[in-house]
Amino acid sequence: MADWGTFKVGGTTYPLTASTSNSALLDSDPSIFYTLDYFGAMLVQHMGARFMAEVVKTGLKGTDGKAITSVVGSKLSYDPDPYLTQTQIKFPLLAVYRDNAVFSEKSVTHERDTSVVQVLYVLPPLSPGQAERLTPLLHSVNDILFERTEVGADPSYTPPGGTLGGRVWLRSGMDMVGFTSARYM
């Protein structure tokens, strides 16, 4: 008889282990874990140098008054809105988090969980001159994340636990991933 006490949903195996050797995010929501890691790495790889050149040129500082040292200062797996006034958040901020899910029957024995995931890239407050130089890069954020999502790999990226150039979505437990819209604010 099959062991019904253990089951897998997406990339998550239940029951969750009591071990804390991995982050709770990796063990309970590998889809978000891998997406956040991959997107952060892709922004650093494909626009980090230009972003930092613009930061130096504009003198942009973080909300803590300290120098910005990367195109991604903080990575969050939850909605940052209630926490944006906290000084622990280093800008620019990359957030990838689940917004909602829809469940549908795929067959008699299989169901599909379609999640809407929000991806936010948030710059610190900008002066008009800084905005003029930095906000055009938001289009590049969109291009990079959209294109690298479609490809699902990058020759410079190693998914945690994987190999260089490995397919990130295979590790994440997702069977389909894509963007449906973008908004610039």
pLDDT at 71: 97
Which residue range(s) make up the domain with 149?
8-172
Task: Give me the pLDDT at residue 100, please.
Answer: 76
User: What phi, psi does 143 have (nearest 5°)?
Assistant: -60, -50
Using a CB cutoff of 8 Å and minimum separation of 24, what contacts does 107-115 make? 113/9, 113/10, 115/31
Give the HSE-up count for residue 25: Cα atoms under 13 Å, Cβ half-sphere: 15
Query: What pLDDT, on the 0 to 100 scale, is given for residue 149?
Result: 95
pLDDT of residue 135: 95
CB 39 within 8 A of CB 94: yes
The H or E element spanning position 118 is strand 111-122
Residue 2 inside a domain? The answer is no
What's the confidence (pLDDT) of residue 182? Answer: 81
pLDDT at 1: 45
How would you class 144 by CB atoms within 10 Å of its CB: exposed for 0-12, middle for 13-18, buried for 19 or more? middle
What is the pLDDT tens value at each position of the chain, 185 positions in all?
467 788 887 788 889 999 999 999 999 999 999 999 999 999 999 999 999 999 999 999 988 888 999 999 999 999 998 887 766 789 999 999 988 777 777 666 667 777 888 999 999 999 999 999 999 999 999 999 999 999 999 999 999 999 999 999 998 888 888 888 888 76
Within a domain: 185: no
Is residue 139 one of the residues assigned to a domain? yes
**pLDDT value for 177:** 87
Does some domain include residue 33? yes
Say if 1 falls within a structural domain.
no
Positive or negative CA dihedral for 104, 81, 184, 156?
Answer: negative
Cα 56 from Cα 66, distance rounded (Å): 12
User: For residue 150, what are its two tokens?
Assistant: 């479609």
> Is 181 within a domain?
no
Total domains, the chain: 1
H runs (alpha helix) in the chain: 24-28, 30-58, 128-134, 137-151, 168-172
Question: Is there a domain that residue 107 lies in?
Answer: yes
133 part of a folded domain:
yes
Q: Is the dihedral of CA 32, 119, 100, 83 positive or negative?
A: positive
